[in-house]
Amino acid sequence: NAGVTQTPKFRILKIGQSMTLQCTQDMNHNYMYWYRQDPGMGLKLIYYSVGAGITDKGEVPNGYNVSRSTTEDFPLRLELAAPSQTSVYFCASRLPGVNTEAFFGQGTRLTVV
């Protein structure tokens, strides 16, 4: 199994540009998450989804949008990139239940200049 796959791995954006970070998982997990990690800090939750068609905001949702049309895919959209969005973005997925582990992708390193 590939697990959680994120694309691209690296991206440089200019201020005001938009882009979509792709995330797909092949484990049939209901729950999916987007986190961002700034240098030297822990991960912060941006958005999450508990199933196709259901999304909700996390701790730091401003400047981002998500959609979940299928179980496998959970893209993250940046509409008007700002320098404050320079970060490493991680997608994760898991099955429901207290005894399940989260699986993370390898991350997308985004720089906004």
Please give the residue ranges that form the binding site for other proteins (CB under 8 A): 4, 31, 33, 35, 40-45, 48, 50, 56, 58, 90, 92, 94, 96-107
Antiparallel, parallel or unpaired: β 19-25 and 31-37? unpaired
Nearest distance, CB of residue 53 and other proteins, angstroms: 15
The secondary structure element, H or E, covering residue 109 is: strand 108-112
When the beta carbons of 15 and 57 are compared against other proteins, the nearer one is: 57
Give the nearer residue to other proteins in terms of CB position, either 1 or 14. Answer: 1
Q: Name the phi and psi angles at 85, rounded to 5.
A: -95, 5
> Which residue, 2 or 14, has its beta carbon nearer to other proteins?
2
Nearest distance from C-beta of residue 97 to other proteins, angstroms: 7
Shortest approach of other proteins to residue 90 CB, angstroms?
5
The tokens of 14 are what? 């200019």
Helix (H, G, I), strand (E, B) or coil at 90: strand
Contact 109, 9 (CB under 8 A): yes
